[in-house]
Amino acid sequence: MKSLMIIFSVIFVSLFCGCQKSDPVTPVVVPPVVKTPTISVSADTTLNYGENYNLTVSATDFSSITLNGNNITGNFAITINTLLRDTIMTIIATNAVGAETKSVSKIVTIKVRDYSSSTFGILSHYKWTSIRSEELDANKNYLYDIVLSGYSLIVICSTDWHISFYEANGTPYGDPQKFSLANGDIIVNSFHRHIESISLTRLVYSYVSGQFNDGSNSIIRETFAASAK
Binning pLDDT at 50, 70 and 90, where does residue 25 land? confident
Q: Return mean pLDDT, the chain.
A: 86
117-228 belongs to CATH 3.40.50.300 = no
In the three-class reduction of DSSP (H, G, I as helix; E, B as strand; rest coil), residue 32 is classed as coil
Report residue 170: phi and psi, to 5°.
Answer: 95, 0
Strand order across the 100-112 sheet: 45-47, 100-112, 87-97, 64-67, 70-72
What percent of the chain shows pLDDT beyond 70? 88
Ranges 37-51, 54-68, 133-147: which has the least confidence? 133-147
pLDDT above 50 (res 4): no
DSSP state of 116: G
Strand partners, 71: 66
Record the pTM: 0.78
Question: Mean of the pLDDT values across residues 13-31?
Answer: 62
pLDDT in tens, 62-88: 999 999 999 987 788 989 999 999 999
pLDDT above 80 (res 31): no
Domain definitions of the chain by residue range: 38-113, 117-228
For residue 21, what pLDDT is reported? 61
Strand partners, 135: 144, 220
pLDDT in tens, 95-110: 998 888 999 999 999 9
Binning pLDDT at 50, 70 and 90, where does residue 15 land? very low
Please, what CATH class does the domain formed by 38-113 belong to? mainly beta
Closest Cα partner for 38 from 91, 119, 104, 97? Answer: 104
